[in-house]
Amino acid sequence: MVKTFLKARWENLIMANYNIDADILMPFLPQGVELDLYDGKAYVSLVGFIFKHCRIFNIPIPLMGTFEEINLRFYVRRKVGDTYRRGVVFINETVPYKPVAWLANQLYKEHYIAIPTKHHIVLDNSIKSIQYEWKVGTSWNHIKVNATMDSREMDRGSLEEFIFEHYYGYTKISENVSQEYKINHPRWMVNDVTEKSVECDFSGMYGIPFSHLSNKKPDSIIIAEGSDISVDWKRQPF
């Protein structure tokens, strides 16, 4: 039986998706996986969401169980036998608490940093307004949307389905060693975005290779309601 490392609830996930030159991603690609493309294009996603009720090995984290996470990720796949496992690679993950960042980096060899973050969520009968903010240097960056309250199934074969339907995490341990872990959650419902805004210092947050995205409009912005999730403790080097 696979042991569970993390249990939590991820809510109100905003994904700002950018088509990007695949060559930019190659230095970040773990050994043994390949880029997963949609209609022949590579994508990165700037992601904001609420991380709630966080438990490590089923133990609550005192005073730090609920917080914002901001991350930049791209999409990969790994062939295992006759099938592909579809997953994500994180360029960077941002949380407001240093102990959370330290623990994730130690146990999962990810790329967490701790900087100030905040959020603002307003729900009414017809519209949900969601905003995530994070501080880079002296400036606050943000991603925000207005969306319909009514949720719907993702369209089969759509970009939104491609973005959300990746259930493995891959980490580049070294040039010759990679690590795989499983993320468990149901297929998410989505809401239709009616208004959107992104202000991000991509260079300051993620480095020079991504600096051009600061002046580029996202190719799409989508939002999912989220769900309870779990992350397996079993980590498989390859």
On the 0-12 / 13-18 / 19+ scale of CB atoms within 10 A, 64 is middle
The domain spanning residue 47 has which CATH number? 2.40.400.10
Q: What's the length of the chain? A: 238
Q: What is the pLDDT of residue 234?
A: 66
How many domains does the structure of the chain reveal? 1
104: phi then psi, degrees, rounded to nearest 5? -65, -40
And the tokens for 218? Answer: 């996202």
Contact indicator for 163, 76 with CB cutoff of 8 Å: no
Q: What is the pLDDT of residue 3?
A: 84
Query: Which bin fits 142, alpha (ψ -120 to 50), beta or left (φ > 0)?
Result: beta
Q: Within 10 Å of residue 99's Cβ, how many Cβ atoms?
A: 13
Q: Within 10 Å of residue 25's Cβ, how many Cβ atoms?
A: 20
Q: What is the pLDDT of residue 1?
A: 67
Q: What is the pLDDT of residue 60?
A: 84
What is d(CA 127, CA 148) in angstroms, rounded to the nearest whole number? 5
pLDDT averages per 10-residue partition of the chain, 238 residues: 86 98 97 97 98 88 86 97 96 94 84 96 93 96 97 95 96 89 95 97 97 97 96 77
What is d(CA 50, CA 57) in angstroms, rounded to the nearest whole number? 20
Q: What is the pLDDT of residue 5?
A: 83
Q: What is the pLDDT of residue 160?
A: 95
CA dihedral 88, 90, 94, 95 (to 10 degrees): 50
Contact indicator for 76, 30 with CB cutoff of 8 Å: yes
What is the extent of the structural domain holding 15? 4-237
What is d(CA 135, CA 114) in angstroms, rounded to the nearest whole number? 10
CA atoms within 13 A of residue 143's CA, in its CB half-sphere: 29
Owner of token pair 């490590």: 56
Nearest to 13 by CA among 234, 227, 236: 227
